[in-house]
Structure 1
Amino acid sequence: MDDHRVSFLIAGVQKGGTTALFDYLGEEPGLSLSREKELHIFDDERRDWAAADFADYHAAFAPFDGRARGEATPIYLYWPNSLARICAYNPAMRLIVVLRDPVARAWSHWRMEYARGAETQPFAWCVRAGRQRLFDAEPWGFHREFSYVERGFYGAQIAEALALFGAEQLLVLRAEDLKADPAAVLGRVRRFLGLPDGAAPRPREVHMAREMDYGSELTTADVAHLRAVYARDAERLADLTGVRFG
């Protein structure tokens, strides 16, 4: 087997604090992280996955020196076939997933896309009738920008991960805990990756929402609607991981 393979991934979720975690891990002397965050290898539909070549992937890291290699691309947990491709690449891969309350995540995601100009519709429409747009997308039912609601079905996504990888290969964290007590969360990550204890990190926040007029607010009706949409999946997530939101 190729000992140079990437051995761990921050595989989710978007708007969940993955950039902060990637920055924290970049200060760990026992790890070799990719030069840039979000390499987008396993969600790349242009690759020939029947005969995948990972030379460019490995070139995104410093020359191999024996340290564990890792990267962070938070769409991997959501994007179809990404987890199966990861498993085919390295069945021993360790996956770190940082989950954020799916309602707050959807709202933050929409604000990001609206600020970028990719989204022009109000949030209330996007999380209701606007979900139909995903059925005009390719791959069918998935969308990189408009997947505000769909990325929050964590129970289904974690179930897929557990069908491919052993439970000991998956670490599920909460974004809220990472923000409130980064030292404790980083301690869990170090243990998961087999690293020695280290100094407490300097708390940081990255990718703060842009200050502007978004033309929408997160209403109590929106929250109630999304809680209802997520209710069954939320129970599945709790059964699998013990994690609950709301």
Structure 2
Amino acid sequence: MIKLTYSFISLINAKVICVSQGVKNDLSLLYKIKNCRVINNFIDHQDLDKKTQNNSHNDRVFDYIFVGRLTKVKGCDVLIDALCDRSVFIKDNNINIAIIGDGDERKKLQGKIEKFGISSFVSFKGECENPYVYMKSAKYIIVPSYAEGFGLVVLEGLYLGADIIYSKCDFGPREIIDNYFSEQKKLGFSDPSLNRIESVAELSSIIKYTFNSRPFFLSHEKKKERVCKYFNKAKVASDICKFLND
């Protein structure tokens, strides 16, 4: 059904809006859809401000957090294996890690954490109505996905002041960092869908590097300013209207 729909879109040369360049390239390559425009998602920064104004957590109390569904595509298994690889380091340095979200893989992931004796350092918070209070309280947000269309959590995390450790998967997070936050490119690690073992090893190394070195990339204000400039509602609405009216 999906293939038939895309074939029809190609046949009538309908306009298609894509959230990332990678999605656009795939539609062109796989379905010969040519009339595409890349228009990224936006974040509602006023809503984020509202949801974090009464943050109950102390500033940056979490060293690392993951936010997302605990399903295969989101790659939390990659993160958990990297944490297990650094279990001694985590215990020696009293590193505080939170997993925000729920899903099919939760029980298996928690089992690994318990096996390596770091359940006191890695807390599973479950699905949260307002994950942004955790994001605002994190030094680093880890996005270890096997695939992402856009990766809104990257923008939300940056806006709230965290640095982003991300897999170079197709498509969104890599494009956001490469095009708008190139200062943080050294926090990217191999795409786990291509080489999972290498991905886990690189993420493990980045965790040790960032905790020991505390590298500085951009101030919180600079991150907010850049996110608001390129990923705001008015700009996206204007770009959509212009594309549809061309």
Bin of the TM-score, shorter chain as denominator length: 0.3 to 0.5
- Higher strand share goes to which structure? 2
Compute the TM-score of the two structures, normalised by the length of structure 2.
0.34
Q: Which has the larger radius of gyration?
A: 2
Compute the TM-score of the two structures, normalised by the length of structure 1.
0.34
- Higher helix share goes to which structure? 2
